[in-house]
Amino acid sequence: MTDFAAARRNMVDGQVRTADVTDLRILSAMLDIPREKFVPPASAALAYLDLDLPVGEKGTRRLLKPMVLAKLIHALELTSRDRVLDVGCATGYGAAVLGHVAGHVTALEEDTGFVQAAHSALAGHQNVSVVTGPLTGGWPKGAPYDAIILEGATETPPEAFLPQLSEGGRLVCILGGGPGAKAMFYCRCSNELGGRPIFDAGAAVLPGFAKAKAFAF
Protein backbone atom coordinates (compact mmCIF):
# COMPACT_ATOMS: atom_id res chain seq x y z
CA MET A 1 0.00 0.00 0.00
CA THR A 2 1.24 3.47 -0.89
CA ASP A 3 2.29 5.73 1.98
CA PHE A 4 0.67 8.90 0.65
CA ALA A 5 2.00 11.14 3.42
CA ALA A 6 5.55 10.08 2.58
CA ALA A 7 4.81 10.50 -1.14
CA ARG A 8 3.64 14.08 -0.49
CA ARG A 9 6.84 14.88 1.39
CA ASN A 10 8.94 13.39 -1.40
CA MET A 11 7.01 15.38 -4.00
CA VAL A 12 7.51 18.67 -2.17
CA ASP A 13 11.16 18.03 -1.30
CA GLY A 14 12.17 16.50 -4.62
CA GLN A 15 10.06 18.40 -7.15
CA VAL A 16 8.85 21.68 -5.65
CA ARG A 17 11.52 22.97 -3.26
CA THR A 18 14.23 22.18 -5.82
CA ALA A 19 12.41 24.35 -8.38
CA ASP A 20 12.96 27.52 -6.30
CA VAL A 21 9.44 27.62 -4.89
CA THR A 22 10.07 29.32 -1.55
CA ASP A 23 6.55 30.43 -0.55
CA LEU A 24 5.92 28.47 2.63
CA ARG A 25 2.15 28.70 2.11
CA ILE A 26 2.42 26.79 -1.17
CA LEU A 27 4.77 24.20 0.31
CA SER A 28 2.48 23.74 3.31
CA ALA A 29 -0.59 23.36 1.10
CA MET A 30 1.07 20.71 -1.04
CA LEU A 31 2.17 18.84 2.08
CA ASP A 32 -1.35 18.92 3.52
CA ILE A 33 -3.62 18.35 0.52
CA PRO A 34 -4.15 14.68 -0.44
CA ARG A 35 -3.57 14.83 -4.20
CA GLU A 36 -4.59 11.19 -4.52
CA LYS A 37 -8.19 12.26 -3.82
CA PHE A 38 -8.18 14.42 -6.96
CA VAL A 39 -7.28 11.64 -9.41
CA PRO A 40 -9.10 8.50 -10.55
CA PRO A 41 -8.78 5.69 -7.95
CA ALA A 42 -6.81 3.56 -10.41
CA SER A 43 -4.23 6.36 -10.68
CA ALA A 44 -3.90 7.11 -6.96
CA ALA A 45 -0.45 5.51 -6.77
CA LEU A 46 0.72 7.90 -9.53
CA ALA A 47 -0.60 11.06 -7.86
CA TYR A 48 2.79 12.33 -6.69
CA LEU A 49 4.93 11.52 -9.71
CA ASP A 50 6.59 14.24 -11.80
CA LEU A 51 4.16 14.05 -14.69
CA ASP A 52 1.02 15.58 -16.17
CA LEU A 53 -1.51 13.12 -14.80
CA PRO A 54 -4.46 12.14 -17.02
CA VAL A 55 -7.88 12.58 -15.41
CA GLY A 56 -11.43 12.07 -16.61
CA GLU A 57 -13.03 9.23 -18.50
CA LYS A 58 -11.28 9.97 -21.80
CA GLY A 59 -7.96 10.88 -20.23
CA THR A 60 -7.61 13.88 -22.55
CA ARG A 61 -7.29 16.34 -19.65
CA ARG A 62 -4.36 16.35 -17.29
CA LEU A 63 -3.43 17.79 -13.94
CA LEU A 64 -0.35 19.97 -14.27
CA LYS A 65 2.91 18.58 -12.93
CA PRO A 66 3.22 19.54 -9.25
CA MET A 67 6.37 21.56 -9.98
CA VAL A 68 4.74 23.49 -12.83
CA LEU A 69 1.60 24.24 -10.80
CA ALA A 70 3.66 25.38 -7.82
CA LYS A 71 5.90 27.66 -9.92
CA LEU A 72 2.90 29.24 -11.66
CA ILE A 73 1.20 29.97 -8.33
CA HIS A 74 4.49 31.23 -6.86
CA ALA A 75 4.87 33.68 -9.77
CA LEU A 76 1.50 35.28 -8.94
CA GLU A 77 2.78 36.46 -5.54
CA LEU A 78 -0.69 36.10 -4.05
CA THR A 79 -1.85 37.75 -0.85
CA SER A 80 -4.49 36.49 1.55
CA ARG A 81 -6.87 39.13 0.17
CA ASP A 82 -6.51 38.29 -3.53
CA ARG A 83 -9.40 37.00 -5.60
CA VAL A 84 -8.31 34.37 -8.11
CA LEU A 85 -9.92 32.81 -11.18
CA ASP A 86 -8.73 29.24 -11.83
CA VAL A 87 -9.52 28.40 -15.48
CA GLY A 88 -9.75 24.68 -16.22
CA CYS A 89 -9.75 23.48 -12.62
CA ALA A 90 -10.54 19.87 -13.68
CA THR A 91 -10.89 17.85 -10.46
CA GLY A 92 -9.91 20.81 -8.28
CA TYR A 93 -6.40 20.11 -6.98
CA GLY A 94 -4.97 23.43 -8.18
CA ALA A 95 -7.94 25.28 -6.72
CA ALA A 96 -7.34 23.57 -3.38
CA VAL A 97 -3.72 24.74 -3.32
CA LEU A 98 -4.76 28.25 -4.34
CA GLY A 99 -7.35 28.27 -1.56
CA HIS A 100 -4.56 27.95 1.00
CA VAL A 101 -2.83 31.06 -0.35
CA ALA A 102 -5.47 33.46 -1.72
CA GLY A 103 -8.55 35.07 -0.23
CA HIS A 104 -11.09 33.53 -2.60
CA VAL A 105 -10.84 31.19 -5.59
CA THR A 106 -13.37 30.84 -8.39
CA ALA A 107 -12.70 27.44 -9.96
CA LEU A 108 -14.07 27.33 -13.52
CA GLU A 109 -14.73 24.10 -15.38
CA GLU A 110 -16.90 23.21 -18.38
CA ASP A 111 -16.84 19.42 -18.13
CA THR A 112 -19.78 18.33 -15.96
CA GLY A 113 -17.96 15.22 -14.76
CA PHE A 114 -15.07 17.32 -13.52
CA VAL A 115 -17.46 19.80 -11.92
CA GLN A 116 -19.01 17.00 -9.86
CA ALA A 117 -15.58 15.63 -8.93
CA ALA A 118 -14.32 19.08 -7.94
CA HIS A 119 -17.39 19.79 -5.80
CA SER A 120 -16.81 16.52 -3.95
CA ALA A 121 -13.04 16.87 -3.56
CA LEU A 122 -13.26 20.53 -2.50
CA ALA A 123 -15.92 20.01 0.15
CA GLY A 124 -14.80 21.91 3.22
CA HIS A 125 -12.76 24.46 1.29
CA GLN A 126 -14.91 27.44 2.27
CA ASN A 127 -13.10 30.01 0.12
CA VAL A 128 -13.29 28.02 -3.15
CA SER A 129 -16.34 28.23 -5.41
CA VAL A 130 -16.73 25.81 -8.33
CA VAL A 131 -18.58 27.29 -11.32
CA THR A 132 -19.60 25.85 -14.66
CA GLY A 133 -19.10 27.50 -18.04
CA PRO A 134 -16.97 27.59 -21.19
CA LEU A 135 -13.31 27.95 -20.24
CA THR A 136 -12.64 30.46 -22.99
CA GLY A 137 -15.23 32.84 -21.56
CA GLY A 138 -13.75 33.02 -18.07
CA TRP A 139 -16.24 33.98 -15.34
CA PRO A 140 -17.27 37.66 -15.77
CA LYS A 141 -19.76 37.46 -12.88
CA GLY A 142 -16.92 37.37 -10.38
CA ALA A 143 -14.65 39.90 -12.09
CA PRO A 144 -12.46 41.76 -11.63
CA TYR A 145 -9.86 39.30 -10.34
CA ASP A 146 -6.49 40.08 -8.82
CA ALA A 147 -5.05 37.01 -10.51
CA ILE A 148 -5.96 34.41 -13.13
CA ILE A 149 -4.32 31.05 -13.74
CA LEU A 150 -4.91 28.76 -16.71
CA GLU A 151 -4.40 25.14 -15.63
CA GLY A 152 -3.20 24.03 -19.03
CA ALA A 153 -1.74 25.38 -22.23
CA THR A 154 -3.11 27.92 -24.67
CA GLU A 155 -1.82 28.21 -28.20
CA THR A 156 -2.81 31.87 -28.45
CA PRO A 157 -2.05 34.78 -26.07
CA PRO A 158 -4.74 35.13 -23.36
CA GLU A 159 -5.87 38.62 -24.35
CA ALA A 160 -9.52 37.66 -23.91
CA PHE A 161 -9.08 37.63 -20.13
CA LEU A 162 -7.88 41.24 -19.97
CA PRO A 163 -11.35 42.66 -19.11
CA GLN A 164 -11.65 40.28 -16.15
CA LEU A 165 -8.39 41.40 -14.54
CA SER A 166 -8.18 44.30 -12.13
CA GLU A 167 -5.69 47.07 -12.85
CA GLY A 168 -2.30 45.58 -12.05
CA GLY A 169 -3.82 42.09 -12.03
CA ARG A 170 -1.63 39.13 -12.95
CA LEU A 171 -2.20 36.12 -15.19
CA VAL A 172 -0.10 32.99 -15.59
CA CYS A 173 -0.40 30.25 -18.17
CA ILE A 174 1.58 28.01 -20.48
CA LEU A 175 1.80 29.47 -23.97
CA GLY A 176 2.26 27.02 -26.82
CA GLY A 177 1.30 23.44 -27.48
CA GLY A 178 4.65 22.07 -28.60
CA PRO A 179 8.20 21.49 -27.37
CA GLY A 180 8.96 25.23 -27.30
CA ALA A 181 6.13 26.10 -24.90
CA LYS A 182 6.81 28.59 -22.12
CA ALA A 183 5.21 29.42 -18.81
CA MET A 184 4.19 33.07 -19.10
CA PHE A 185 3.52 35.87 -16.62
CA TYR A 186 1.19 38.68 -17.72
CA CYS A 187 0.18 41.89 -15.98
CA ARG A 188 -2.61 44.31 -16.81
CA CYS A 189 -1.59 47.92 -17.28
CA SER A 190 -4.56 50.06 -18.37
CA ASN A 191 -5.96 48.32 -21.47
CA GLU A 192 -2.86 46.30 -22.26
CA LEU A 193 -1.69 42.88 -21.16
CA GLY A 194 2.08 42.78 -21.06
CA GLY A 195 3.78 39.42 -20.77
CA ARG A 196 7.15 37.75 -20.33
CA PRO A 197 8.34 34.12 -20.21
CA ILE A 198 9.26 32.81 -16.76
CA PHE A 199 10.34 29.20 -17.38
CA ASP A 200 10.14 26.35 -19.88
CA ALA A 201 7.08 24.16 -19.45
CA GLY A 202 4.67 22.05 -21.43
CA ALA A 203 1.08 21.00 -20.83
CA ALA A 204 -1.99 19.67 -22.61
CA VAL A 205 -3.89 22.39 -24.46
CA LEU A 206 -7.13 23.32 -22.72
CA PRO A 207 -10.42 22.83 -24.61
CA GLY A 208 -11.06 25.84 -26.85
CA PHE A 209 -7.51 27.17 -26.56
CA ALA A 210 -6.03 25.54 -29.66
CA LYS A 211 -4.94 27.81 -32.48
CA ALA A 212 -7.36 27.86 -35.41
CA LYS A 213 -6.03 25.76 -38.27
CA ALA A 214 -4.93 27.89 -41.21
CA PHE A 215 -6.33 27.00 -44.62
CA ALA A 216 -3.64 25.63 -46.92
CA PHE A 217 -3.92 25.27 -50.68
CB-count burial class (<10 Å; 0-12, 13-18, 19+) for 53: buried
Amino acid found at 67: M
Query: In this structure, what is the dihedral angle of CA atoms 70, 147, 195, 151, given to the nearest 10 degrees?
Result: 50
Q: Provide φ and ψ at 22, rounded to 5°.
A: -110, -5
The predicted-structure confidence for 52-67, as pLDDT tens digits, reads as follows 999 976 667 999 999 9
H/E segment holding residue 67: helix 66-76
pLDDT band at residue 35, thresholds of 50, 70 and 90? very high
The predicted-structure confidence for 150-183, as pLDDT tens digits, reads as follows 999 999 999 999 999 999 999 999 999 888 999 9
pLDDT score of 213: 73
% of the chain with per-residue pLDDT over 90: 89
pTM above the 0.85 mark? yes
Q: What rounded mean pLDDT belongs to the chain?
A: 95
Round to whole Å and give the CA distance between 198 and 41: 34
Amino acid found at 24: L
Structural domains in the chain, CATH included, are 50-200 (3.40.50.150)
